[in-house]
Structure 1
Amino acid sequence: MQDDYLSTSNYSAQANARGALANLRKAGSTKLDNSPLALASVLSVLYSPLSDDEIGKNDWLTPSEKAVYYSLVSFSQHMQGATTKAHEPGIGFAQACGRLYAVSSSNSIKPRFDAMLLSRDENSMAVHLRSLISLLRNAGLPFDYARFAQDLRILVRSTKNAEDELARNRVQLRWSRDFASGTYFDRSAETAE
Structure 2
Amino acid sequence: MTKPTLHFSVGNTASSLQRSYLDRAETAAGADARRVLAELRQSAARSFSADPLALQKVLLLLEPPLSDEELGRGDDPSPSELAAYNALTLFAQHMQSATKPVHTTECSFARACGRLQTLSESNSIKPRFDAMQSARDEASRVLHLRSLVTLLRSKELAFDYGSFARDLRSLQYPARREGVLLRWGRDYAVGTLRPKAQRAAEAEPEITSPFANS
**Partner letter of residue 184 of structure 1?**
L
Q: How far apart are the structure 2 equivalents of 1:106 and 1:9? A: 34
Determine whether 1:122 maps to 2:132: no
- The match for 2:187 is 178
Q: C-alpha deviations, 1:55-107, integer Å up to 9, x for none?
A: 11111211101100110000000000000000000310000000001111111
- The match for 1:161 is none
5 Å-filtered alignment, 1:106-121, equals 106-121=122-137
**Partner letter of residue 181 of structure 1?**
V
- List runs of 5+ in structure 2 lacking aligned partners: 1-16, 204-214
Determine whether 1:188 maps to 2:197: yes
Q: For the Cα contact (< 8 Å) 1:94–1:179, is it kept in 2?
A: yes
- The match for 1:75 is 91
Change in Cα spacing, 1:102 to 1:33, as seen in structure 2 (3 Å) is farther
SS at 1:36 equivalent:
coil
Change in Cα spacing, 1:19 to 1:187, as seen in structure 2 (3 Å) is same
Q: For the Cα contact (< 8 Å) 2:25–2:31, is it kept in 1?
A: no
5 Å-filtered alignment, 1:48-87, equals 48-87=64-103
- List runs of 5+ in structure 1 lacking aligned partners: 158-163
Structure index of larger Rg: 2
Q: C-alpha deviations, 1:7-29, integer Å up to 9, x for none?
A: 14752111111111111111111
**Partner letter of residue 18 of structure 1?**
R
Q: For the Cα contact (< 8 Å) 1:67–1:153, is it kept in 2?
A: yes
Tell me whether 117-126 or 146-155 shows the greater mean CA deviation.
Answer: 117-126
**Partner letter of residue 64 of structure 1?**
S
5 Å-filtered alignment, 1:163-174, equals 164-174=173-183
Determine whether 1:90 maps to 2:106: yes
SS at 1:100 equivalent:
helix
Q: Any runs of at least 4 consecutive aligned residues in structure 1 with deviations exceeding 6 A, and if so which? A: none
SS at 1:14 equivalent:
helix
Cα RMSD, aligned residues only: 1.4
Change in Cα spacing, 1:51 to 1:183, as seen in structure 2 (3 Å) is same
Q: For the Cα contact (< 8 Å) 1:27–1:73, is it kept in 2?
A: yes
Q: What's the % identity of the aligned pairs?
A: 48
- The match for 2:210 is none
SS at 2:53 equivalent:
helix
- The match for 1:13 is 29
Q: For the Cα contact (< 8 Å) 1:112–1:128, is it kept in 2?
A: yes
